[in-house]
Chain A
Amino acid sequence: MAKTIAEKILSAHAGKDLRQGDYALCKVDFCLGQDGTSGLIIDALKEIGAKKLAASSRFCMVIDHSAPSPNIGVSAIHKKMRTFARDFDLTLYDIGCGVCHQVVLESGRVLPGDLVVGADSHTCTYGALGALSTGFGSADLALTLASGRNWFKVPQTIKIVVDGKLPKGVYAKDLILHIIGDLTADGCTYNSVEFTGSAIRALSIDGRFTISNMAVEMGAKCGIMEPDKKTLAWLKKYTNKRIRPVFADKGAVYSDIRHYDASRLSPKIARPHTVDNVVDMGKLKNKPIDEAFIGTCTNGRLEDLKIAASILKGKKVDPKVRLIVAPASKPIFLEAMRSGIVEALVNAGANVVTPGCGPCVGTHNGVPADGEVVISTANRNFKGRMGNPNAFIYLASPATVAVSALRGRFTDPRRYVR
């Protein structure tokens, strides 16, 4: 019988034929934790008395959510992680390496067809390479690390087909915001999503990561794309392992199939305090902003920084606006320095902070004041997300954020991009 990508990947990892709705124990190819979740992973392993970790060579920890540490409490968690990594001889990416998802992707450890779990909800990012990757809590991650396996429910799948060419000034971020606005924050709950169509294939791999990254914002378990030549070329930079792509069968059963036309899209923005509160950028035209943030596992990659630099080069950010930039990883930071992106951004008034999650999770690096308005390239705009429940967070593309920082007010980027 014809299968979806999720049915195929989970069947292969359970060693038996699975259908949507089945429960099964599956072997996990890779797993990870970050500094917000690893403390509890370590506690859980202690509680079960784990002496050996079956997946120790298929695991890593990344210190990214508060890096470097802003306070004593966080320092204690970081120390606990470093000690644990030493005791069990585990891979630890310490402060400055970058956001866990970009670090894992650049480590070449995730391949098409893999089953990956991470103690971070945005683990779904790797779906863009054709892997089934999803977020877990800390206890589940600990048991995966200890035993090399965990249980999975085989999800139903919603197919999202995007055709047409994205207009100038409209990006992957605008597309995924539009889809989330349409399907809503729980529109894909318990489902796998398969993104397909000519507009998805036309995206760069960086753009595809942006799309898969936000699958969880509509409740999806994972957001998978079929690998193509671009995927293989991207993977070649990071691994020489043999690639075995997994494709959906013709006739696979979908719980829903949705069609979108990219050519009709305009720049989008998600208003406070939910990600599905999406409107056309034009609706907010000229509303003043206080802070602008470019970075995160959604939009802190080279392509994103390049777009921002091309808009800001030789100009100055509005003096009433603080612009903060966090490259998603150290290699991205280095390349952005080599290619003059960092210089252009800093000259324009940007504050470039350590590669990592930056201000997205509200621990440091730019907590807004009461009543302030923030425009950000992140994936969440929940009340209090950036550390202050009395601030207002809006989500948009790097181009929209850069242009808005320049003008000091919400601005449609289409007139400003070359």
Chain B
Amino acid sequence: MKLKGRAHRFGDAVNTDYIISGRYKFKIQDPKLLARHVMEDLRPDFYKSIKKGDFLVAGKNFGCGSSREQAPLAIKYAGISAVIAKSFARIFFRNAINLGLLPIECDTSKIKEGDVLDIDVDKGLVINKTRKKEIDIRPLPDFMSRIIKDGGVLKHFIKHSGFKINA
């Protein structure tokens, strides 16, 4: 799998309240409408700056806080194809995989706002075209890659009539 896009740069500890505020997640059910409020408290009107396929790039502990699946859902429907962070909080990490939104763990310190990135998932590399740097990705366990390839956990569950942990 290969992805191309621009980096939207955020800091450490981006919690799920910042990704999608409780003000919206409790009353909006349509994910397309939810996506308009993604990251709103950190960057008003952020969704307008996203081009389909772009990446969210952050520091450590991305997605900490609540278990709301609306967080990766809003990111996905805003057109983001992968979240690249130094580390993820565990519920968000699992939710992202379940929705087929790629969580990429790597050293993000050399990625700046607007950098053009290529991601080669099979080679395990983020290639920063703007800064001409290659960054190694921490590989996903096979089981989780399979869920992503199946298009998310619900499709995975239907396809295999359950969870397929071992190949």
Question: Which chain A residue lies CB-closest to B42?
Answer: A383
Contacts A151-B143, A219-B61, A382-B17 known; A361 to B154 CB distance under 8 Å? no
In the complex, A387 has a CB within 8 A of chain B: yes
B23 touches A362 (CB 8 A): yes
B70 touches A47 (CB 8 A): no
CB-CB under 8 A from A85, the residues of chain B are none
Can you name 17 extra interface pairs (CB under 8 A) apart from A40-B70, A384-B23?
A: A24-B165, A48-B157, A66-B26, A71-B27, A73-B29, A77-B29, A121-B66, A121-B67, A135-B67, A136-B67, A137-B68, A143-B153, A274-B13, A362-B21, A382-B18, A384-B18, A384-B41
Question: Which chain A residue lies CB-closest to B147?
Answer: A151
Complex Cα spacing A397 to B87, Å: 30
CB within 8 Å of A: which B113-147 residues: 141, 143
Question: Which chain B residue lies CB-closest to A34?
Answer: B67
Question: Which chain A residue lies CB-closest to B29?
Answer: A39
B89 touches A186 (CB 8 A): yes
B42, chain A: closest CB distance, angstroms = 8
Q: CB-defined interface of A376-418 with B at 8 Å, one 1/0 digit per residue?
A: 0000101111010100000000000000000000000000000
A385 touches B17 (CB 8 A): yes
Complex Cα spacing A71 to B27, Å: 8
CB-CB under 8 A from A47, the residues of chain B are 154
In the complex, A35 has a CB within 8 A of chain B: yes
B41 touches A189 (CB 8 A): no
| Contact among B22, B87, B91 with A121 in the assembled complex (CB-CB below 8 Å) | B91
A296, chain B: closest CB distance, angstroms = 13
In the complex, A44 has a CB within 8 A of chain B: yes
Complex Cα spacing A35 to B27, Å: 10
Question: Which chain A residue lies CB-closest to B62?
Answer: A186
In the complex, A221 has a CB within 8 A of chain B: yes
CB-CB under 8 A from B68, the residues of chain A are 36-37, 137
Q: CB-defined interface of A210-252 with B at 8 Å, one 1/0 digit per residue?
A: 0000000001010000000000000000000000000000000
Complex Cα spacing A149 to B163, Å: 9
Contacts A136-B94, A139-B69, A362-B21 known; A23 to B29 CB distance under 8 Å? no
In the complex, A185 has a CB within 8 A of chain B: yes
In the complex, B81 has a CB within 8 A of chain A: no
In the complex, B60 has a CB within 8 A of chain A: yes
**How many residue pairs at the A-B interface have CB separations less than 8 Å?**
140
A36 touches B26 (CB 8 A): yes
Complex Cα spacing A147 to B163, Å: 10
A384 touches B157 (CB 8 A): no
B83, chain A: closest CB distance, angstroms = 15
In the complex, A74 has a CB within 8 A of chain B: yes
B17 touches A384 (CB 8 A): yes
Complex Cα spacing A24 to B163, Å: 10
Question: Which chain B residue lies CB-closest to A140?
Answer: B98
Complex Cα spacing A37 to B18, Å: 17
A219 touches B41 (CB 8 A): no
**8 shortest interchain CB distances as A-B pairs:** A73-B27, A137-B95, A186-B61, A137-B69, A135-B67, A389-B41, A121-B67, A384-B41
CB-CB under 8 A from A185, the residues of chain B are 13, 61, 64
In the complex, B3 has a CB within 8 A of chain A: no
In the complex, A305 has a CB within 8 A of chain B: no
In the complex, B65 has a CB within 8 A of chain A: yes
Question: Which chain A residue lies CB-closest to B33?
Answer: A73
A139 touches B153 (CB 8 A): yes
Contacts A25-B165, A219-B61, A274-B13 known; A137 to B67 CB distance under 8 Å? yes
CB-CB under 8 A from B87, the residues of chain A are 186, 189
CB-CB under 8 A from A389, the residues of chain B are 21, 41
Complex Cα spacing A389 to B91, Å: 23
| Contact among A37, A139, A189, A362 with B152 in the assembled complex (CB-CB below 8 Å) | A139
B29, chain A: closest CB distance, angstroms = 6
Question: Which chain A residue lies CB-closest to B15?
Answer: A382
CB within 8 Å of B: which A119-153 residues: 119-121, 123, 135-140, 142-143, 147, 149-151
Question: Which chain A residue lies CB-closest to B92?
Answer: A137
A219 touches B90 (CB 8 A): yes
A380 touches B26 (CB 8 A): no
B61 touches A37 (CB 8 A): no
In the complex, A260 has a CB within 8 A of chain B: no
CB within 8 Å of A: which B55-87 residues: 60-61, 64-70, 72-73, 87
Question: Which chain B residue lies CB-closest to A118?
Answer: B67
Complex Cα spacing A380 to B17, Å: 10
Question: Which chain A residue lies CB-closest to B152?
Answer: A139
In the complex, A76 has a CB within 8 A of chain B: yes
Complex Cα spacing A414 to B26, Å: 39
Question: Which chain B residue lies CB-closest to A188?
Answer: B90
CB-CB under 8 A from A72, the residues of chain B are 27
In the complex, B1 has a CB within 8 A of chain A: no
CB-CB under 8 A from A139, the residues of chain B are 69, 95, 98-99, 152-154
Complex Cα spacing A336 to B161, Å: 49
A36 touches B22 (CB 8 A): yes
| Sample (15) of A-B pairs whose CB atoms are under 8 Å apart | A23-B143, A25-B165, A77-B26, A77-B29, A121-B65, A121-B66, A137-B72, A139-B98, A186-B60, A361-B22, A362-B21, A380-B17, A380-B65, A382-B15, A384-B41
CB-CB under 8 A from B26, the residues of chain A are 35-36, 65-66, 73-74, 77, 361, 363
